[in-house]
Structure 1
Amino acid sequence: MHFEAVWAGLPLLLSGALKTILYAVAGYAAGLALAMLLIVGRLAYGKAVSRPTAVFVEIVRNTPFLVQAFFLYFGLARLGFSMSPVTAAIIIVTFNSLAYTVEILRSGLMGVPRGLIEAGESMSFSAIQMFRYVIARPMLRATLPALSGQFIIIMLNTSLLSAIAIPELTYEASNLASSSFRPFEVYVAIAVIYFTISAAFAGVFALLTRAVTGDWAKVDLARRGIL
């Protein structure tokens, strides 16, 4: 094995890795924020929000990420909504992550003790106040491991964006492999990079879980679930 081409192309790979992180973090954060808004809407308007959300979740969860990427990138362009590769990547990741995170949060909402919700209702809390003061903390405590694992999956799925020529780690690696004629060495290198990024974020989420739960045993379980 000869890794000279990998070392020569390392700046290119690191640039792709930074773009992968950007797409994953920005898209997932936007998806999580929208998912929380849908949870608040569910509290405020009930089935008027929950039923359309359920349809959206089923459509996204039962179609491949790559098909969604083709639809959002090429389909919207055909309708006149052209966008830059960076914007397209973030929108695609947001669209996908929203469906999964809202379902994770919904399961967490169902696990909130009914007594807490009734207490909030007795104090005439609005939907936003109910979410902020009553539901948010126990819901996040219950769902953080699943949210953490879903972020890792979303981050790894960004590799599929290379199929629509959006620059990220796998796209840059493919170009390097083609120009250097060293595909084995290049793909070994990006496997290591993906693993390193995943392990780093797993550690961050484990610390976050510890901060929220205050329980080392739960942190260990969360880390095992992510890794």
Structure 2
Amino acid sequence: MKIKSKSKKLNKAWLHDHLNDPYVKLAQKEGFRARAAYKLKEIDEELKLLKPGQLVVDLGATPGAWSQYVRRKFAPKDAGTGGAAVGALHGAIIALDLLDFEPVEGVLFIQGDFREEAVLAELERAVAGRPVDVVLSDMAPNLSGIESSDSARIAHLVELAVEFAQNHLSDQGALVCKVFHGSGYSQLAKLFKERFRVVKPIKPKASRDKSAETFLVGIGLKSPKGRADILA
């Protein structure tokens, strides 16, 4: 009974914090599906990564807030308009996730597990040999609470995202990847420094203070167009 009571208190505290979160309120007001849109917004505004006309791949896209943000960035700004959630789109967005994804107008969605060869092959067919300007990865595994196991799962997804970026990014392209401080972080930061000319770790204000979540941004491949032998 004590365990249940403690669990209820934790859930109630989380719900209270969530409902009073200024980014949650802002997302509701501005029509974003999740507060995560403001994490990408902060990263983009600091580094100026996203520009109309680009090809963007959004990995771990569900519920779609990052794709929504990119979609609005790509809306034409004729006559002082822009930021539209529907209508014309100057650029291309490919989103991928294991979970269901409510459609975002103009966004091509592929459902499947990024770790599977068949799903990766489908994504590569959608890219169709075009250079990708920005790869966004908000992917995270289901965590078990066992640090060594969770670190390995997180690292595997990051390595796959880096490998995809190595194979598909334009010469000056960028990869934005969610990582977590703790065991394995320094190795992932080292991997980024080996692959990219510029590496920037960013902890957006929209990322909760209590969370170990942070983001690594790599810009400009050191050896573009070569198959990365990352997982060897």
Q: What TM-score, normalized to structure 1?
A: 0.25
Please state which structure has a larger fraction of its residues in helix: 1
Structure possessing the higher radius of gyration over alpha carbons: 1
Q: What TM-score, normalized to structure 2?
A: 0.25
Structure with higher RCO (Cα < 8 A, 6+ apart): 1
